[in-house]
Amino acid sequence: MSGGRAWVYGDDINTDVLYPGAYLKGPIEEAAKHCLEAIDPTFVPNVRKGDIVVGGENFGIGSSREGAAEVLLMHGVPVVLAKSFARIFYRNAFNVGLVALVCKDTNRIAKGDDLNIDAAAGTVENKSKGETYSCETVPPHLMEIVNDGGLVPHLKKRFGRTS
Amino acid sequence: MGMTISEKIIAKACGRETVTPGEIVTCQVGLAMFHDSSGPRRQAPALKELGRDVWDPDKVVCITDHYVPAVDALSAEILKITRDWCAEQGITNFYDQQGICHVVLPERGHLHPGLFAVGGDSHSPTGGAFGAFMIGIGATDMTGVLATGEIWVQVPHTIVVRWSGALAPTVTAKDMMLALCARIGLNGAGYKVVEFMGEAVTALPMDERMVLPNMTAEVGAKTGIIAPDQVTLDYLAGAGAATEGALDWFSDDDCVYEQVLEFDADALSPQVAAPHSPANSKGVETYNGVRVDQAYIGACTGAKLADLHMAAEVVRGKKVAKTTRFMVAPASTRITQAAAKDGTLETLTEAGAILLPSGCGACAGLGAGVLAEDEVCISSTNRNFQGRMGASSAKVYLASPYTVAAAAVAGRIADPREFVSAGALSP
């Protein structure tokens, strides 16, 4: 279960907006300071642990840079909700321990809405509006990866078991 | 029921007779490619943590292209990590500063039809031009591949993009892809494979074919693919790649396509995508006259030998506008060599082009040629997202090498058909 305030954006939020190329070279902590800056300079100074990022269609389109998912996690965002995700971003999210949930009702969510999310059950409770939305179920093997904290800890567990 | 070429490759890679779209399967990886940005700097510490070495060094290709050549201590360090790690892990397929990974990979014979491949870069679908099923993945996914030699995939549905007719002179594969972006949008092929076919596709040389699957990344596709034919075989033979059984990879007549999109090559005109999305594409006349500070020929999409030839046709005997910087970053060192030999570099530089090193360069916002606030650039690259090529307020228009070169000469966006007469085009 995760809960927090919604940061709502539109369609096609791309990886250059999430993690500008100019910061690819340096430490991720520096890149994180510029997350979403091009479209919302208020995000980084105001985001709080537990907040939820909400997008429209095709969230995370663009580069394969995994930092695009990682920086959200570094800002304390545990879940991204979107109507659809770009496929590399979707995989990257689970691989680094960020939950990406496909929810077709994200247009009903407004900036600042108080959300309560149950990823396993696939539900989003919008406490501000008194509504509940359902999400597509996450494939079990991805839930397992994210519950282990990402692909590397997941593989560590698997190798530990088999060796 | 038959299968598509993509389904056949996935079925073979997961050891099954057949697969069905929607299924999640685990595939054995035939080739894993990565570069200096997505590569060893990320995987080395993770593999160490896992206590694993690379599962099969012969199936791994590493190519430095993002931070080349080093311009500061930070980029030099990333390149050093890459070189040291390749040596330590016994990665002999290591190409250091030889060009952009998606171009170097086929050039050096690493791709062939039927291959199931992963690449640590979003433009990895480029491999589909050679009949390989090649998908882009992130750094941790790559760590998983390097540690285990396998990866899970959901079998994708296939969309057909069929181009009938013939392209007019100065209309290119890039224009075909910009038109596709405009028609179906940035998520128009989300999670799907785009299979290209039709006489306008098979008429393209390999340099041009590569642009089609390359830019499927811009429509959200899992990958793109073109069934191999004699043109593919000739290229593979020249590159020293495996050709045995290459033509056995094709989509069955009774396979199931989710959708077939028809396009008419005869009706296509030079396209230009306005900032900040490849889907903002329209005929060049829409943006005619927009003043440009920079015209950039570069990237995996738009700086192959055929692309340099296109640019040279336009600028031959002309001069670049005084108010415009014309930058050319050939996609590989071999391309530079060939362009030096055949006089293309002379034509370009006599017109006023500035040659840049082979690498991702300004396209990824990393190398030489990035933009200042509010500057306008027209570029033969693949995406024009806000902030990608430098300052956040810079405006990037995407177009074919012909159209970029025409803008370099005119100092503003211009119709390349006014600069090149059909008879002047090289075959």
Whether B315 and B351 have beta carbons less than 8 Å apart is answered as yes
Is there a contact between A159 and B24 if contact means CB atoms under 8 Å apart? no
Average pLDDT over residues B256-284: 98
Decide if B388 touches A, using CB distance below 8 A. Answer: yes
How many distinct structural domains can be found in chain A? 1
Q: Does domain B5-264 have CATH number 1.20.120.1200?
A: no
Q: Could you tell me the residue range of the domain that residue A11 belongs to?
A: 2-162
Residue ranges in B108-229 assigned as alpha helix (H): 139-148, 173-184, 199-202, 206-209, 211-214
DSSP letter, residue B193: E
Give the model's confidence band at A3: pLDDT under 50 very low, under 70 low, under 90 confident, else very high.
confident
At residue B422, the pLDDT reads 55
Reply yes or no on whether the pLDDT at B427 is more than 50: no
Is there a contact between A152 and B364 if contact means CB atoms under 8 Å apart? no
User: Which strands sit side by side in the sheet containing B354-355, from one edge to the other?
Assistant: B281-283, B271-273, B395-398, B376-379, B294-297, B325-328, B354-355
Q: Return the closest-CA partner of residue A63 out of B426, B300, B423, B344.
A: B300
Which chain A positions have a beta carbon within 8 Å of B37's beta carbon?
24, 65
Q: Return the closest-CA partner of residue A145 out of B152, B205, B283.
A: B152
Residue B165 burial (C-beta neighbours within 10 Å; 0-12, 13-18, 19+): middle
CATH for the B271-424 domain, from 3.90.220.20, 3.30.499.10, 3.30.70.20, 3.20.20.150: 3.30.499.10
User: A22 to chain B: nearest residue by CA?
Assistant: B365
Helix axes B40-50, B73-89, angle to 10 degrees: 50
At residue A22, the pLDDT reads 83
Torsion of CA B128, B132, B138, B140, to 10 degrees: 180
This model of the complex carries an ipTM of 0.93
Question: Which pLDDT tens digit goes with each residue over B175-188?
Answer: 999 999 999 999 99
- CATH number of A17's domain: 3.20.19.10
Question: Å from B407 to nearest chain A CA?
Answer: 26
Domain ranges of chain B: 5-264, 271-424
Give the model's confidence band at A162: pLDDT under 50 very low, under 70 low, under 90 confident, else very high.
low
Is there a contact between B50 and A155 if contact means CB atoms under 8 Å apart? yes
Reply yes or no on whether the pLDDT at B277 is more than 80: yes
Question: Which pLDDT tens digit goes with each residue over A114-150?
Answer: 999 999 999 999 999 999 999 999 999 999 999 999 9
Average pLDDT over residues B233-246: 96
Domains B5-264 and B271-424 share a fold: yes
At residue A163, the pLDDT reads 47
Is there a contact between B138 and A141 if contact means CB atoms under 8 Å apart? no
